[in-house]
Structure 1
Amino acid sequence: MSEAIRPHEFNEQWGDAFNAGDLPRLMEMYEPGAVIVPGPGAEPIHGHAAIEAALAGFLGLGGKLRFTPRHWLVAGDLAFSSVAFTMDGGRDPEGRPVELTGVTAEILRRQPDGRWKYVVDHPFADART
């Protein structure tokens, strides 16, 4: 993964990794103790193992993600970001179409090497399925 110099590039890198189906690259973008909401209405999960399993399932849908950045608010080494997204072309395990549209809410922390990583990732903060 290339180092994100400007924080908003983080969203682009995440989207590129998702659309490439690159789970290891996605996992590099989360702190070890990060929290993610794995689906619309789901309870938050914690830590790399749980996040990796959730992202593997999300990638398994096979859809493509498109998004529009909404904002990046940076305060020192913390950032709050949000994007409006659409995922289409996905299929559930039974082959039924899965399309998601929503708005995210994310908190990131700048790492000692200058990269940003998720601390809290709520991809379904305002999801409509």
Structure 2
Amino acid sequence: MPPIWRDPNTSPIAQRPGEIAQCVSACLERGNLDGITGLFHPDCTIFFPPDAPPRIGHAGVRAVFAGFLGQTPTTQSTLVSEVIVGDIALLQADWQVIAPDGSVLAKGRSTEIATRLAHGGLGYLIDCPNGPPPCS
């Protein structure tokens, strides 16, 4: 089942955990930062870029994705693993963000925890685009 769009200017709703990346990709290609933000839990943590401190909440989502928006990139994501228990999912995917000239802006093997959001769809609670960070 494809993601449900409430409104083209907001975020789509992922019905299954594996759809979240497709929804983020669609919003990224449209330059829809609000839509991307709506696909993350308000208390989310994003570990990107890998050498930076984790980004927290919707402000963190905006900080991570804002730099990609002006480049109108496309994304490719291949789900490698999906474990679902109730409203929580553990995901792994190989992904890359590609500029219009074909250059790869970023890539990795992600590990994410997804959960049910207030609107009823699924979104990321923990996003580790380059895998979990090492123990400190």
Tell me the TM-score range normalised by the shorter chain.
0.7 to 0.9
Q: 1:67 aligns with which of 77, 80, 85?
A: 77
Q: 1:94 is matched with which residue?
A: none
Percent identity between matched residues is 27
Letter in 2 for 1:23: L
**Aligned twin of 2:113:** 107
Q: Which residue of the partner structure matches residue 25 of structure 1?
A: 35
Residue 82 of structure 1 corresponds to: 92
Aligned AA (2:43): G
> After alignment, is 76-85 or 104-113 more displaced?
104-113
Deviation at 1:6, TM superposition (A): 2.5
Residue of structure 2 in register with 1:123 after alignment:
129
Q: 1:14 Cα shift?
A: 1.3
Matching residue's letter, 2:40: Y
Q: How many corresponding residue pairs?
A: 121
State the SS of the aligned residue for 1:8: helix
Query: What is the match of residue 5 of structure 1?
Result: 15
Indicate if the aligned counterparts of 2:14 and 2:123 stay in contact, CA closer than 8 A. Answer: no
Normalised to the residue count of structure 1, the TM-score between the two structures is 0.79
For the structure 1 residues 40 and 63, does the alpha-carbon distance in structure 2 shift closer, same or farther, using more than 3 Å as the test?
A: farther
Question: Normalised by the size of structure 2, how large is the TM-score?
Answer: 0.75
Find the aligned partners of 2:60 and 2:30 in 1 and give their Cα distance.
Answer: 21
Q: Which runs of 4+ in 1 moved over 4 A?
A: none
| Corresponding letter in the other structure for 2:122 | W
Deviates more, 1:35-44 or 1:78-87: 35-44
- The gaps in structure 2 that reach 5 residues or longer are 1-10
The alignment's C-alpha RMSD in Å is 2.3
